[in-house]
Structure 1
Amino acid sequence: MDRRGLIVRGRHLLRLDELSVIEREDPVYARLVTKEPILVFAPAVKQPQPSSSLTWSALNIELPAQIHLLSLIAWPLLKSTAPPQAYDQVLLRLEHLDVNSTGYGNRDPYQLDITFMFCGIRITQATEVTLTADQERTVAQTERLRWPTESPNTPVWSYGHQVIRATQQIIIFIHPGTIASFILNYKPLD
C-alpha cells in the first residue's frame, strides 16, 4: 500500500452513452472482456503453404451482433474411432446473446441460414445435439427428468431449437439467451 488509497490492477472500461445503448451493448462487451477467445493450435501434419494474405476467415457471412460463435470443431474428435462411412462433419456451437434495443430482449428465435456459412464447404444436414454433443437433443429431451414411476407418455416441457431444411437450404433457429449445438454434415465445394 502507498497510503494514498487502494491499488487495483487489471483492465477497466468506462463507457459513456445513453442508458438504452449501454443496456443493449453491455452483454456483448461483458463477454468480450471476461471471455476472450482462446487460440488452440495442434502440431502441423505437413508444412503450411506460403500465402500472400495473412488473414483468413472460415465464415462467408458476418454473424449478427446477438449471435456468438462459441466453437467450430472437426467431428468426431477421434477420427480413428469413427465408422469408415461417416460423413464429413463439424460440431458448431452458437450462443444467442439476447441483445435488443429495449434492454429487455427479443423473445423470438433468430433464423440463421447456414448452408454456405463456411468457406469451401456446403452444409447438407444439421442435427441438434446436447451441449456435450453426446446425444441428439430430441432424445435427451424425451429422457429428461423422467422418474422410473412415471408413465412414458407424460409430456416433458421442451425449449428446443429447430432445424428446417427448405429445398437446399439449412436454416437453424436459436432462441435468445441459449446455447445451441449442432453436428453439421458437409460436402467440399468444387
Structure 2
Amino acid sequence: MKRASLVGVSTTTFFYMLCGCVGYAAFGNDAPGNFLTGFGFYEPFWLIDLANVCIAVHLVGAYQVFCQPIFQFVESQSAKRWPDNKFITGEYKIPVPCCGEFSINFLRLVWRTSYVVVTAVVAMIFPFFNDFLGLIGAASFWPLTVYFPIEMHIAQKKIPKFSFTWTWLKILSWACFVVSIVAAAGSVQGLITSLKDFKPFQAP
C-alpha cells in the first residue's frame, strides 16, 4: 500500500499540477474546465471517447471510495438501533449460476440505490461539475491525502517532536493545508460566478 499510495498520489499530483499550471499559463482565467472539448473541438472523436471512458472509470472508483464510509455508517447505525428489524438486518441468499450465492439486504439495496439516485439528480440540477469537484477535492485533499497519512507515519515511526524529519513533515502538511484553502476559495468563487446565470438541468 505504501508503494501504491506513493505512485497514485504522485501521478495524480503531477497531472493535476500540469493541467492547472500549463492551462493557466496558456489561457489565464479563460482556461476551460475540460481541456479536451473546452475549445469547441471534438476531433478526433475516438480520443475524446477514450478520455471520457477513462474519466468515467476514474470517477466510478473514486465515488466508491468516498461513498463506502457513508454507506457503512448509516447501515451500522441502523442495525444497532433496530437490531430486530428484518428489513435492516436480514440477509437473503440468492443463488447465481456459475457464481455461487449472492447476499441481498433490503436496507442496503434501497438505501444505496436512493443515495445514488438523489446525488445524480442533485448533480443534474446544479451542473457546476468542475467547481463542485474542485471544492470537494480541496476539502478532502489535505485531511485524507496529507494530514492523516503524515500523522500516522509520525506515530508509527515514533518520530520525535521538533526533529528534522518531524519539522519538515509538519511544514509539508501546513503548506498543503494552505493550498487546499486557496483551492477551496477558488472553487467557491467559481460557484458564485456560475450561479449568476444558473438554470436547473442545463449546463452553464
TM-score tier, shorter chain, comes to: under 0.3
Which TM-score applies when normalising by structure 1? 0.25
Q: Which has the higher strand share?
A: 1
Higher RCO structure (Cα 8 Å, ≥6 apart):
1
Which TM-score applies when normalising by structure 2? 0.24
Q: Which has the higher helix share?
A: 2
